[in-house]
Amino acid sequence: MKIEICICDDDINIYNQLNSYFENFLFVTDYAFNITYCDSSDSILKTYEGKDKPFDLIFMDIELGSSYTGIDVSRVIRQKYDSNVNIVILTSYPEYMREGFEIHAYHYLHKPLDYSVFKNLMIDFTKSFGDQYSTVTLLDWEGTMSVIKLKEIVYIETARKFASKNYLLFHTINGTEDQKYNDYYASGNLSDWEMRLSENHFISPSRSLLVNLFHVKRFTKEKMELKDGNFLPISRRKFMDLKKKLSEYLFTGR
């Protein structure tokens, strides 16, 4: 399987360095990489025109030497072209990490670049890239079987319409612009699914919820905001553990 990569940096030396990193990484992965180089905000935005989500992973420099910063360009890409593309921020300035949080950066690479850090990042990314094709099978009370992709699950909750706690409601994205969910009822209990999905970046913000971190935009002490604009409550007793896990995911991709 081939992964589409974009390196957006006005310094050709950074492109050459990352390109050599990918050549070395080929020896430790089964994936192939198609790498596109963009040296400005205009060049990467033009690449998106007329193409449907051309990249799986973007390495975005903060200082692009133009009126647009890398954060600005990332916002445009997220809002206009692809809300889910993975973006790695390239920067020499740690203070940009907070802005990276706002555009849901997958990871950060600090300049000067280091191959070992890059390698660990790509090991994590290729695993999560493979996970998006992983599926789960659900069985409802009528025996109807549904197969859904893990990445499409936004969150799972205890099904309130049943007196029994052994039924769950799976809210999944339908891939359209209206942001409506496709919902599936399935037998099972939340604690079992929490254990089953613990390695796939699912966390429990309260006793009745299990949330896919991929779909989380930001959080406060009382609630988390999803990328689709919906809000979910956070239990006070779970906040500190949730904060740690969510921060690790947002800032390291792990």
- Condensed to tens digits (0 to 9), the pLDDT of residues 224-248 reads 999 888 999 999 888 888 888 776 7
Q: Full-prediction pTM beyond 0.85?
A: no
Q: What is the mean pLDDT of residues 163-169?
A: 74
pLDDT band with cut points at 50, 70 and 90 for residue 250: low
Our count of domains for the chain comes to 2
The yes-or-no verdict on residue 179 having pLDDT over 70 is no
Task: Output the CA angle 113-128-246, nearest 5 degrees.
Answer: 80
Instruction: Report residue 21 as tokens.
Output: 């990193």
**Least confidently predicted of 72-76, 146-150, 226-230, 250-254:** 250-254
Q: Are residues 141 and 232 in the same domain?
A: yes
Per the CB < 8 A criterion, the answer to whether 132 and 151 are in contact is: yes
Q: Are residues 190 and 83 in the same domain?
A: no
The yes-or-no verdict on residue 122 having pLDDT over 90 is yes
Q: What is the pLDDT of residues 18-55, one digit of tens each?
A: 999 999 999 989 899 999 999 999 999 999 987 788 99
pLDDT band with cut points at 50, 70 and 90 for residue 196: confident
Q: Are residues 63 and 10 in the same domain?
A: yes
- The domain in which residue 36 lies consists of 2-131
Q: Are residues 156 and 121 in the same domain?
A: no
pLDDT band with cut points at 50, 70 and 90 for residue 171: very high
Please choose, from the candidates 183, 176, 178, 175, the residue with its C-alpha nearest in 3D space to the C-alpha of residue 155.
183
SS3 212: strand
Q: Are residues 124 and 140 in the same domain?
A: no
- The CA distances from residue 80 to 16, 45, 52, 62, 107, in Å, are 29, 10, 11, 19, 21
Which of 99, 131, 163 lies at the terminal end of a domain, its last residue?
A: 131
The yes-or-no verdict on residue 176 having pLDDT over 90 is no
Q: Are residues 29 and 96 in the same domain?
A: yes
CATH of the domain at 145: 2.40.50.1020
pLDDT band with cut points at 50, 70 and 90 for residue 4: very high
Q: What is the pLDDT of residues 74-107, one digit of tens each?
A: 999 988 999 889 999 998 877 666 666 678 888 8
Q: Are residues 97 and 6 in the same domain?
A: yes
